[in-house]
């Protein structure tokens, strides 16, 4: 699970026995949470929210700095309101993700509706695999599981293995529960070539901070932003159509998953043009409901020459009067 991987590294120790104890205690904890009904899950989330927001202040300075950079024309009151709504949803998202440990296929189908799947029809008929552009908007873990259901294309996810082998095996098993094929991040192109005879949609979550070597830059949320090349390069090399997936929260615990074709001829565009298509769609989603994107990432650690950074400390964050 991405949230576990990014935000939760329990019982880190050089001692193998302590690591094993930490793993099994965490597994019990996750299982205990996952079997609770959704009503209880959201009660826990509502309790966790003020603790995370007021007491722990998890990456609060990063969130506020990101929001100020992304929305320079918004008032302090508006920024503060977005941040509060983000932390409230962040707690929901985390608990929803843990719920996946035992969540049934029926429950996922009930809670994630799918729209305009006709985008895939001609590619299904011609046995054409696609590149699916995803993001950290909405619940991307539920999105990955829903993509394993009722599609002719087999969903292939990309993951970075964890150093802790036990947790890596646990997360691998959880992500593959409903049939996803999982590619290690350093073997994506090789695996996709091996699977060329299969009908696949390979999901790239492409809004993270990239390795800087040869990274193209786009304007994203009012700032110069380096981006991953991999998805666009692979789409061109394999000549796969590029489709954007949007996971939109509808109400608490329910989502709508929709799709938009970006291009069915990736080689008629440059990598930069493909990246700009993706980021324009994502930016539109974020501008409409910014609280549903993952603002805790240090997404803009690298800045273009001359671009001014904004530093905010937790002590500077105050409710606007």
Average pLDDT for the chain: 92
The alpha carbon dihedral of 25, 105, 186, 209 has a sign of negative
Q: What band does 304 get if pLDDT is binned at 50, 70 and 90?
A: confident
Q: How many CB atoms lie within 10 A of CB 106?
A: 8
Mean pLDDT of 276-290: 98
Q: Convert the pLDDT of each residue in 192-226 to its tens digit.
A: 999 999 999 999 999 998 888 788 999 999 999 99
Between 2-16, 87-101, 228-242, the lowest mean confidence (pLDDT) is in 2-16
Q: Give yes or no for residue 7 having a pLDDT over 60.
A: no
Query: What is the pLDDT at residue 162?
Result: 86
Q: Give yes or no for residue 105 having a pLDDT over 90.
A: yes
Q: Give yes or no for residue 14 having a pLDDT over 70.
A: no
| CA–CA separation, 248 and 43 (whole Å) | 22
- Helix (H) or strand (E) holding 223, with range, is strand 223-226
Q: Please give the residue that has the higher pLDDT: either 10 or 295.
A: 295
Mean pLDDT of 272-282: 98
Query: What is the pLDDT at residue 13?
Result: 52
Q: Phi then psi for 144, rounded to 5 degrees?
A: -60, -40
Counting Cα atoms < 13 Å in the Cβ hemisphere of 196 gives: 10
Of 208, 229, 200, 215, whose CA–CA distance to 131 is shortest? 200
**56: three-class secondary structure by DSSP:** helix
| CA–CA separation, 95 and 103 (whole Å) | 12
Q: What band does 10 get if pLDDT is binned at 50, 70 and 90?
A: very low
Q: Give yes or no for residue 45 having a pLDDT over 50.
A: yes
Q: Please give the residue that has the higher pLDDT: either 313 or 152.
A: 152
Mean pLDDT of 74-84: 98
Query: What is the pLDDT at residue 315?
Result: 65
Q: Give yes or no for residue 1 having a pLDDT over 60.
A: no
Q: Phi then psi for 234, rounded to 5 degrees?
A: -65, -40
Q: Give yes or no for residue 263 having a pLDDT over 90.
A: yes
**89: three-class secondary structure by DSSP:** helix
Secondary structure tally for the chain: helices H, strands E: 12, 9
Query: What is the pLDDT at residue 26?
Result: 92
Q: Give yes or no for residue 32 having a pLDDT over 70.
A: yes
Query: What is the pLDDT at residue 5?
Result: 42
What percent of the chain has a predicted confidence (pLDDT) above 70?
92
The alpha carbon dihedral of 298, 299, 304, 310 has a sign of negative
Of 104, 84, 96, whose CA–CA distance to 33 is shortest? 96
Of 124, 121, 117, 118, whose CA–CA distance to 200 is shortest? 124
Mean pLDDT of 2-31: 70
Query: What is the pLDDT at residue 49?
Result: 98
Q: What is the DSSP letter of 256?
A: E
- Helix (H) or strand (E) holding 33, with range, is helix 16-34
| CA–CA separation, 60 and 47 (whole Å) | 18
What percent of the chain has a predicted confidence (pLDDT) above 90?
79
- Helix (H) or strand (E) holding 111, with range, is helix 105-111
Q: Convert the pLDDT of each residue in 137-190 to its tens digit.
A: 999 999 999 999 999 999 999 998 988 888 888 899 999 999 999 999 999 999
219, β-bridge pairs: 224
Q: Please give the residue that has the higher pLDDT: either 315 or 135.
A: 135
Taken as a whole, the chain contains a residue count of 321
């Amino acid at each position: 699970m991405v949230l576990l991987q990014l935000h939760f590294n329990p019982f880190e120790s050089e001692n193998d026995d302590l690591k094993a104890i930490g793993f099994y205690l965490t597994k019990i904890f996750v299982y205990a949470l996952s079997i609770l009904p959704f009503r209880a899950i959201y009660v826990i989330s509502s309790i966790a929210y003020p603790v995370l927001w007021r007491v722990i202040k998890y990456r609060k300075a990063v969130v506020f700095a990101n929001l100020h950079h992304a929305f320079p024309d918004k008032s302090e009151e508006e920024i503060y309101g977005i941040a509060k709504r983000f932390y409230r949803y962040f707690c929901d998202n985390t608990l929803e993700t843990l719920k996946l440990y035992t969540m049934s296929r029926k429950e996922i189908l009930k809670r994630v509706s799918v729209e305009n799947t006709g985008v895939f029809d001609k590619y299904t008929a011609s046995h054409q695999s696609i590149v699916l552009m995803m993001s950290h908007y909405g619940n991307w873990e539920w999105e990955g599981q829903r993509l394993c259901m009722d599609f002719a294309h087999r969903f292939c996810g990309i993951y970075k293995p964890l150093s802790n082998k036990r947790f890596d095996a646990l997360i691998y098993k959880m992500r593959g529960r409903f049939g996803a094929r999982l590619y290690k991040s350093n073997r994506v192109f090789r695996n996709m070539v091996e699977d060329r005879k299969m009908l696949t949609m390979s999901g790239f979550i492409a809004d993270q901070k990239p390795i800087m070597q040869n990274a193209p830059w786009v304007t994203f949320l009012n700032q110069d932003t380096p981006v991953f090349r991999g998805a666009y390069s692979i789409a061109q090399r394999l000549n796969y159509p590029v489709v954007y997936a949007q996971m939109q929260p509808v109400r608490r615990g329910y989502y709508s998953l929709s799709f938009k074709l970006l291009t069915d001829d990736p080689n008629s565009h440059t990598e930069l043009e493909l990246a700009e298509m993706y980021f324009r769609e994502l930016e539109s989603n974020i501008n409409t409901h910014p609280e549903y994107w993952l603002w805790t990432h240090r997404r803009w650690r690298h800045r273009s020459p001359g671009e001014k950074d904004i530093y905010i400390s937790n002590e500077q964050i105050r409710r606007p009067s």
